[in-house]
Structure 1
Amino acid sequence: MIAQNGPIPLDRYMALCLGHPVHGYYRTRDPLGASGDFTTAPEISQIFGELIGLWAAEVWHAMGRPAPCRLVELGPGRGTLMADALRAVSTALPAFAEAIDLHLVETSPVLRRAQAARLDAAGVPATWHEAAGTVPDGPALILANEFFDALPVRQFERTAQGWCERRVGLAPDGARLVLGLDPDPTPGLPATAGTGAILTLPSVALSEMRRLAGRLA
C-alpha cells in the first residue's frame, strides 16, 4: 500500500497492524499469557474481575435496578474478567445477574472463541459486536479494561513550519519502513510547544469516548 500510494499516517499504520483481517496482530492470535506478549490484571488474579462485578452490581442498584441492563465489555480479552465478575454477582446479587443483557465488543475471531468457552459456564448468554455502536439502546454499564490503551494514535512533531504529522513510508532503498514527517503542517494544534516537541493525539480513543458519552447522556 505504501509503495503504491505513498506514506500513511501513524494511526492508519497501527490500525492495519492490529486489525487487518488476515495479518492483524489481534485478529490472528491470543496475545495473552506466558505464551503471548503481555498479560493483564484479570489474568493475574480473579479478585480484579470479582471487584469489577461487585462495583457493577452496586452501580446497577444506584441506577434503580433497571431490567434488562446491558452489561458491555470493550476488548474482553479471553473473557476472564467477565467470567469472574459474573461469578461474583451471581452469588452476591442474583437479581442483578438475572437483569444482565451481556454484550462483548471484540473484533478477534480467536479471542471470541476463547471468550465463548470461558463464559459458557456462567450461564449468561452473550452477544458479540464488531463495534460498540451496535449495542442496543437502553440502560448500560460499560467496562473497558486496557481497551483505550491499544487504540491507534496520531503523532505530530513541532517544526519551524508548525506541527507536522508523522507518517510511515519507505526508506530510499525501498527495503524497509521508516518514520517521516508530512511536509505540510496541520493547523489547529497548540502553538506554545518548542521545536522538536512531540504530540501524541489519541484520536480514535477520543472518538470512541465521545460516542459512549453521547449514549450515556
Structure 2
Amino acid sequence: MSGEPERLDRFMARANAAYYATHDPFADFTTSPEISQVFGEIVGLWAAVAWQTLGRPDPVLLVEAGPGRGTLMADALRAVRKVMPGFAAALRVHLIETSPRLRAAQAARVPEASWHDSLETVPAAPMILVANEFLDALPIRQFVRRGDGWTERFVADGAWAEQPADAAAVPPGRDAAEGQVVEVNEPARAFVASVARRLRGHPGVGLFVDYGPARSTAGDSLQAIAGRKPAPPLSPLGSADLTAHVDFADMAAAARAAGAAAQGPVTQSEFLVALGVFQRTEALARGRTPEQVTALRQATQRLADPRAMGDLFKVLAVTSPGCPGLPGVAAG
C-alpha cells in the first residue's frame, strides 16, 4: 500500500469536513425538521415546558448543536412566541455551527442568533440544548473481534486495513463473535459529558434526537449517503456524508458519569405521540387544500410511524441533577 493507514475516526472526520465544506447536505438527505414544521414546533414547546420545570430562569440560553438550515429553531421560536411569550422573552438563541455555508442559511431564518464553533464558547448560564441528528455525524472508531483479542479498523488506499487494537479503547461489556464489529464514538461521549458538566452548575437540559439502538449492540453501522442514495463508506474523500448509529445507553452513561441525570431514551414515536403530534397536525390541516392535508398527514406518519422513523430514532434528555420528569421522556 502506498498510503499510510489512517484510523477510521480520523478518516471520517476529514471526509465529513470536506463534504460539508463543498456540499449542500440537504440535497442528499432530509432531516425531521425539513419533513414537517410540526417537529420543530413540538421541540420548541417541549423546551418551553422544560423551562417551566427548571423554575423559569431568566435569561435562559436556547442552544442548538448542528442546526442545519435553521429550520428547527425557526419553527420552535414561532410556536414559543405564540404559546408561551414569557419563555420567548427570557431565551437567548445560540447556534453551534462551523460551516459558513450553513451559518448563512441559519442567519436568514434566525437572525437573532449568536454563533459558536463549539460548546466551549457558549456562555455559562441556564441552558436548554437541542441536538437533532448531530451525534450521528461525529467520527467513530471500529474494533473487530479476532480470536481472543481485537483489531482496530484503519483506512488505506480506499480499503479497510486492520491493526492490533489498544485493549483499553475497546468498550467493555460488549459481546461480539469472531469477525464482528464493535463501535465507539469518543467525540459524542465527550460532547454529552461536556453538556452534563454544565448542567451540574446551572439548571438545564439537553435533548438529543438521533437514530440508533436504545442499548449497546455489536455491529457495523457506518453508512454513507450521496445524491440521496447509499454510497460506499470509503468513497472518495468529501463525496458522501458519513454517519453511524448513536449508542444511547453509552450516551446516558457518559452523562451520568459527568454528574448529570438522564431521562429516556424513548423512541421518537413515543416522544412525538406523547406531545400531541397528531393533534397538532390536524390543527394545522384545518383550512388547507385536500392535497396539503394529505401532505401534512403523510409527513407526520413518516416521523412517528414505528415502521418509518418512529422506532429507529430515539430521544434522550440529559438534565440537571434532581430535575423532575419531563414530558415524553420521563417514562423511558
- TM-score range with shorter-chain normalisation? 0.7 to 0.9
- Alignment-derived partner of residue 187 in structure 1: 167
Deviation at 1:194, TM superposition (A): 2.7
- Alignment-derived partner of residue 48 in structure 2: 57
CA contact (8 A) 1:161 1:185 kept: no
The answer to whether the aligner puts 1:30 opposite 2:28 as a matched pair is no
Query: Which amino acid is the alignment partner of residue 49 of structure 2?
Result: E
CA distance in 1, matches of 2:80, 2:185: 34
Identity among equivalent pairs (%): 51
- Alignment-derived partner of residue 137 in structure 1: 124
- Alignment-derived partner of residue 13 in structure 1: 11
Instruction: State the Cα deviation string for residues 70-91 of structure 1 (Å, max 9, x = none).
Output: 1000000000000000000011
RMSD: 1.4
CA distance in 2, matches of 1:140, 1:18: 28
- Alignment-derived partner of residue 96 in structure 1: 87
CA distance in 2, matches of 1:105, 1:11: 21
SS for the counterpart of 1:76 is coil
Instruction: Give the TM-score taking structure 1 as reference length.
Output: 0.86
Q: Which consecutive unaligned segments of at least 5 residues does structure 2 have?
A: 201-332
CA distance in 1, matches of 2:47, 2:175: 42
- Alignment-derived partner of residue 200 in structure 1: 183
Instruction: State the Cα deviation string for residues 194-217 of structure 1 (Å, max 9, x = none).
Output: 321111111111111111111112
- Alignment-derived partner of residue 78 in structure 2: 87
Query: Which amino acid is the alignment partner of residue 80 of structure 1?
Result: T
The answer to whether the aligner puts 1:160 opposite 2:137 as a matched pair is no
Query: Which amino acid is the alignment partner of residue 185 of structure 2?
Result: P
Deviation at 1:192, TM superposition (A): 4.8
SS for the counterpart of 1:71 is strand
CA contact (8 A) 1:28 1:108 kept: no
The answer to whether the aligner puts 1:44 opposite 2:25 as a matched pair is no
Deviation at 1:161, TM superposition (A): 5.7
- Alignment-derived partner of residue 147 in structure 1: 134
Q: Which consecutive unaligned segments of at least 5 residues does structure 1 have?
A: 171-176
CA distance in 1, matches of 2:137, 2:63: 18
Instruction: Give the TM-score taking structure 2 as reference length.
Output: 0.57
Deviation at 1:149, TM superposition (A): 1.1
Structure 1: 4+ residue segments shifted above 6 A: none
CA distance in 1, matches of 2:180, 2:73: 40
